[in-house]
Amino acid sequence: MEELSRGPARFAEELLRLGVTSAVREMPESTRTAAEAAAALGCDLAQIVKSLIFRSVVGDEAVLVLVSGADRVDESRLARVIGEEVERAAGRFVRDRTGYAIGGVPPVGHTQPLVTYLDEHLLDHALVWAAAGTPRAVFSVKPADLVRITSAKVVAVAAAQVPVAD
Ligand code: 5CA
């Protein structure tokens, strides 16, 4: 197995604890955005898992939404699902609540458990790729395993893709 640097190596241990034997891959190129990750891996953009942090406006709670790289989150649909207004979290909030910086936020292994939603479009693929803690590390996982390890609620919150590079 290839040598991993400290962060991704720790994340790989966390995956093992969760019963996922997927190999964490550290790429020579950036995987900071979904488009970069898809290019680095040579996979479909739709197979990349974006791990997006939202903030509930009233409760100030962090909410993690896992959505395909080919989709964006419709915030009004998400608000209806959660029952509260939400906004995209700022970088500082993301780091404080997850322990990771934007571009490397993984779907599990945060400093505290996060309420997690997974958009149903991710279930269309046999295998998907998500961030593994840094902007160059990714891991592959079956969508059903991703649902299990994140205890995510499967929901429909995706909106049609807009032509932006995230
Ligand atoms: N490693 C990749 C692919 S797995 C990754 O983490 N992608 S991501 O989509 O989950 O995380 C990047 C996301 O962070 C982008 O979708 C982008 O919308 C968001 N983002 C980038 N900069 C900021 C910022 N300053 N504040 C809030 N969100 C941001």
Read off the pLDDT band of 150 (50, 70, 90): very high
Residue 165 within any structural domain of the chain? no
Is 73 contained in some domain?
Answer: yes
What is the distance in A from the centroid of ligand 1 to the CA of 164? 12
Band the pLDDT of 162: cuts 50, 70, 90: low
| CATH code at position 78 | 3.90.960.10
User: Which secondary structure element, helix H or strand E, spans residue 52, and what is its range?
Assistant: strand 48-56
The total number of structural domains that make up the chain: 1
Report pTM.
Answer: 0.94
Atom of ligand 1 nearest to the CA of 34: 3
Per the CB < 8 A criterion, the answer to whether 53 and 93 are in contact is yes
| Pocket lining for ligand 1, CB < 6 angstroms | 31-34, 37, 48-52, 88, 90-91, 102-105, 130-131, 135, 138, 166
Task: Give the range of the structural domain holding residue 133, as residue numbers without chain letter.
Answer: 6-155
Q: What is the pLDDT of residue 21?
A: 86
Write the pLDDT tens digit of every residue in 44-80.
999 999 999 999 999 999 999 999 999 999 999 999 9
How far does residue 105's CA lie from ligand 1's centre (Å)? 8
Which tokens hold the place of 66? 């896992």
Identify whether 117 is part of a domain: yes
Q: Residue with the nearest Cα to atom 19 of ligand 1?
A: 102
Residue 89 lies in a domain: yes
